[in-house]
Each structure stands twice: as C-alpha cells, then as structure tokens.
Structure 1
Amino acid sequence: MLETLPPEAVGRSLDDLLALLRGKRIAVLTGAGCSTESGIPDYRGPETRRRARNPIQFKAFMADPAMRRRYWARAVVGWERFDGAQPNAGHRALAAMEERGLLTGLITQNVDRLHHRAGSQNVVELHGALAEVVCLDCGAVSPRAELQRRLREANPGWAARSAEMAPDGDAEIDPGADFRVVPCEVCSGALKPHVVFFGEGVPKARVEAAWSMVDAANVLLVVGSSLAVFSGYRFVRGAAKRGQPVALLNLGETRGDPHAAVKVDGAAGALLPEILQRLSG
C-alpha cells in the first residue's frame, strides 16, 4: 500500500488548502478515489495498483462481438452491486458545498452517478454514466436497469454468480461462450454502455461545459484522481498554465503534483466533511 503523509503534515497541508479555498469560487474535478469509499473499485488507487486490471478498450468493443459478449456477461453479474452503491461522506460534502454556493460546478470522471444521488445538481459527467446504454446503430439511449432485466431473462441464473466487482461496473468472471447478448429493442443493433471507454474521445460539448466551470472559478480542486487519464488532466494542466491555482486531495501521488499549489494526501470521505465545516464556519 502506498504511504501517505504523517498526520501532522496532513494537518499543515489541510490548513494550507483551506486558506487557498476560503472566499474563492471553486471548480471541482473528481475521480474514482471519491467513490472507493462507497465500495466501487478503481484502476490506479493504492489497493488496485497491486494487481493488474485491464480496462475495456473502445476499438476492441466496437470490432469484436466476442468482446461485447464478454463485457455484458460480466456486467450482468457486477451491475446489482454497482447500482446499489450509495454516496459516501465525500459525495455529500461536495453536494452541500454546491448548495451553499461555494462551487461553480462539479466535473467527474466517474460513471456511477453517486454525485447526483448525493444531491449535486451542476455536474458534468466527462465519461458518461453506466445508468444508460446506447445503440451503436440507431443511437437510441435507454436505461441500464431495463437492459439488466432483459439480460437476466435471456440468461437465467447468470446474475446469481459470485465474483469480485471490477471498475467498469462488471465483474471478474470468465463468461465462456454460453452467454446470450440481447439487441437494441428499436433496431436490433448492438448495445454499448453509454460511457467513454479507454481509447474513445470525450464528446466536445462535455469538455466545453467542463471548461466553463473551470473558467468561472478562482481555484480548481481535484478530489480522488491520479490524473493519469488526459480527459481530466487537461483541466489541471490548463489551469496551471494560466496561473489558476490547483489544489489536490488524493491518496498517493498524481500526475498533477508538479502543478499543485497545495496537495493533501488523504481520503475524500474523511477530509471533505471537515473542509465543508471549516469553509462554512
């Protein structure tokens, strides 16, 4: 497990963070570390770095029916636990910060909709949300819960299998060739979770909406992200380039460390409620 700063160092850096944030308009960028305390695993956190995880690749999903079958077979098993995850104290603190007028908006790299469940309103989901599926042929968007029902009916007993949840909302299971994939109900085309896979570009409109939040802020606060993926790192690099302070709250090192005015090494669920309380006092 990665080492974190000693408590006295965290205390000093937290005071520095509060001094930076107090009285400022704050844009927030969150990553998987904001949801690990809700039971959703990540790819690059202190625990998952110890074992390899292979994320779904966009080109492979698009080109290979076997890859799509593998994904949906695993997703049926993992979905119930993923969908049942609840917001943690970090999500709720960020929602309260927005309600009290402290935020210009919240940009998330997560696909779990936990910020919405916690009460956040002004959210840009950079990578989409697993709560929806999209047809690769006609573009129809439909609820993931409805697809779960159809997949369970087509594959009796499959969802009852036991496996470890994976970051994509699927599960660590070998589907074999027995799993039956169901098509789009509109045109019978192939279905894809309505998220941005690795190797797939973030829609331009989402990037522009996220930049508008950063542009309206005095400070960019990054919570629970290693910033390894460019879709989020671009905002840190851009803010720092124009002299806009960047603050990081994360367990372990991040790609954005060289750009940070303040870095706090700690868990979002443990520290964000304290940040909320002290900024509101």
Structure 2
Amino acid sequence: MSALAAAAAPAQAPAALQAFIERHARIFVLTGAGCSTGSGIPDYRDADGQWKRAQPVTYQAFMGELATRQRYWARSLVGWPRFLAAQPNGVHHALAALEQRGQISLLLTQNVDRLHQAAGSREVVDLHGRLDVVRCMGCERRTPRVEFQAELIARNPGWERLEAGIAPDGDADLEDVEFSSFVIPACSHCGGILKPDVVYFGENVPRERVQAAQAALADSDAMLVVGSSLMVYSGFRFAQWAHAAGTPIAALTLGRTRADDLLALKVQHDCAEALGFLRASA
C-alpha cells in the first residue's frame, strides 16, 4: 500500500476520498456486494475477505447435478420476493449522482441486483450478469425472472409460504428441507436446462463484457472500488490492469482487499456516509 493509503486516518477518510474524486475527471468505478448491504442484501465475506457462509454453487455442480438445481431453485423461489423488493440505498444514489456530474467513464458492478440502474446510473456493465433474467443453456432464450417465479410456484404449490432469511444470491437460507420432490420447469422452447443469467463460480465472464470494461478503464484517469474485497479474480484483474497502467486506485470498503498493495488510497468507512457529499451536491 502506498504512503497516501497508510496516511488516510479514519477521521480524515471521507475528506481524503472526496479529494480523490474531485481531482479526477474520468473515474472507472468497480462495485461489489458491500454496496447493497444497506438495501437488505447480505454480502459474502467478512472483514478479512473470508467466506461468511458456504461458497456459492459452482457452474459445474449446477449443470451436472439435478439435486443442486433443485436445491437452488427451491431456495430461490422463497428468497426471490425479498430480493425483488430491495431498493437502492445511499451508495447507489451517490454513484448515480457522480455519473450525472460526468465523472464516471463506466460503472462495472460485480452485483447482480440491478440496483445501480434502479438508482439512475446508465453507464453500467453487469460483470457477473443479472438475477432478474433466466437463461436457457440450450437455446439461449431469456425469460424474465418474475415470469419464471410464477411457473415455479404453479409447479410447487406451498413452497412460497416457507419463510427463511435472504441469502446473497437472491435465494434463501432454508434449513432441514427435503428438495428431492421440487419440480424445475424446463425451457418451453427446447427443453433445455434453465439457469439464472449470472456468472457462476467456474464459469467465464463473456469476453465482450470484459473487453468493454477494459476499454473504459483505458480511457479513465482513476479507478474507484466501492464495497468490494476484490477477492474474486474477475474483478481483481481490473485493479491489476489499472496499476500496471499507472492509473491511481482508491478503495472504499470495510476490511482487507486483495488489491491492498496496489492502492493509492484506502478508506475504511461506511460507503453511504463516505459518499454522502455526492448526494448533497446533486
């Protein structure tokens, strides 16, 4: 970590972040799960970057095991209504205001909740996809998740009355439940396997998505990481590329990040509070 990052004392952190933002005209913003905790969507990792719960399902397990798909879609049926009801919080609105000021080259989010768009951000790339769409892995047909929810309930009456805490992936923490009787609809067009239109662990981010973000990063004079530990390589590599190009990086997050040694500024503070000056000036 640079001397500037080490010098940013907690009491001075919001001011240091504001100064960083004010002196850069084209900022590449990368966001993570910490942006959406204020909207009631849990994050994945603790302050040390370790998993708070079992790791998310892998692409290989989802595609290869019926039991894994039954467990996922049953939990998703229960958790989806609360995930759908989540609203943008102060972080989302602050970054939308920063875009309105013309200072964001691109907002690259690792989140799949579309809350940045709901807050008004337009220059957004959903690095890991979007949970509000269901994708057929056979014919590539896309279906709105709200329509698929109705079909899940019709095939599995009574499951919608189960109650459980929401999980980071929009599913629910159902415990001691037998999933083997859960019925998963197949694609009505080709009979293929239906999967959320998100990038699972073990699955590649579409190349064109990465290339679009790389181009925006190359056209930026700074990078700002908000609410992410960057432990997942698909996001961390953008910090590597920025550092290699000499682009200064600031991180606003709680706890350790994988890119700590690459940062020009690290601010450990509540994200909404630290970015509050953007909302005040909007």
TM-score by length of 1: 0.92
User: Does the residue aligned with 1:177 lie in a helix, a strand or coil?
Assistant: coil
Q: CA deviation at 1:50?
A: 7.7
Aligned to 1:43: 44
Cα distance in 1 between the residues matched to 2:46 and 2:117: 23
Equivalent AA in structure 1 for residue 265 of structure 2: V
> Is the contact between residue 95 and residue 278 of structure 2 (CA under 8 Å) also seen in structure 1?
no
Q: CA deviation at 1:270?
A: 1.8
Q: CA deviation at 1:175?
A: 4.1
Cα distance in 2 between the residues matched to 1:168 and 1:276: 28
Asked if 1:15 is matched to 2:18, the reply is no
Q: Deviations over 1:152-204 (max 9, x none)?
A: 11111101101111111111113421211111121121100000001111000
Aligned to 1:209: 212
Cα distance in 2 between the residues matched to 1:80 and 1:179: 18
CA distance 1:47–1:114, change in 2 (3 Å): farther
Cα distance in 1 between the residues matched to 2:66 and 2:78: 19
CA distance 1:47–1:185, change in 2 (3 Å): farther
Cα distance in 2 between the residues matched to 1:199 and 1:80: 27
Aligned to 1:256: 259
Count of paired positions: 272
Larger mean Cα displacement after TM superposition, 212-221 or 122-131:
212-221
Segments of structure 2 that go 5 or more residues without pairing to the other structure are 1-7
Aligned to 2:116: 115
> Is the contact between residue 44 and residue 52 of structure 2 (CA under 8 Å) also seen in structure 1?
no
Alignment of 1:99-114 (within 5 A): 99-114=100-115
Q: CA deviation at 1:48?
A: 9.7
Cα distance in 1 between the residues matched to 2:208 and 2:245: 22
Equivalent AA in structure 2 for residue 230 of structure 1: Y
Cα distance in 2 between the residues matched to 1:164 and 1:47: 23
Q: CA deviation at 1:113?
A: 0.5
Q: Deviations over 1:62-104 (max 9, x none)?
A: 1111111111011000000011100001101101110121111
Q: CA deviation at 1:17?
A: 2.4
Cα distance in 2 between the residues matched to 1:257 and 1:269: 21
Cα distance in 2 between the residues matched to 1:265 and 1:118: 24
User: Does the residue aligned with 1:105 lie in a helix, a strand or coil?
Assistant: strand
Aligned to 1:67: 68
Aligned to 2:180: 177
Cα distance in 1 between the residues matched to 2:49 and 2:22: 34
Alignment of 1:227-266 (within 5 A): 227-266=230-269
Q: CA deviation at 1:242?
A: 1.6
Cα distance in 2 between the residues matched to 1:276 and 1:81: 26
User: Does the residue aligned with 1:176 lie in a helix, a strand or coil?
Assistant: coil
Aligned to 1:53: 54
Once superposed, what is the RMSD of the aligned Cα atoms?
Answer: 1.8
Q: CA deviation at 1:22?
A: 1.4
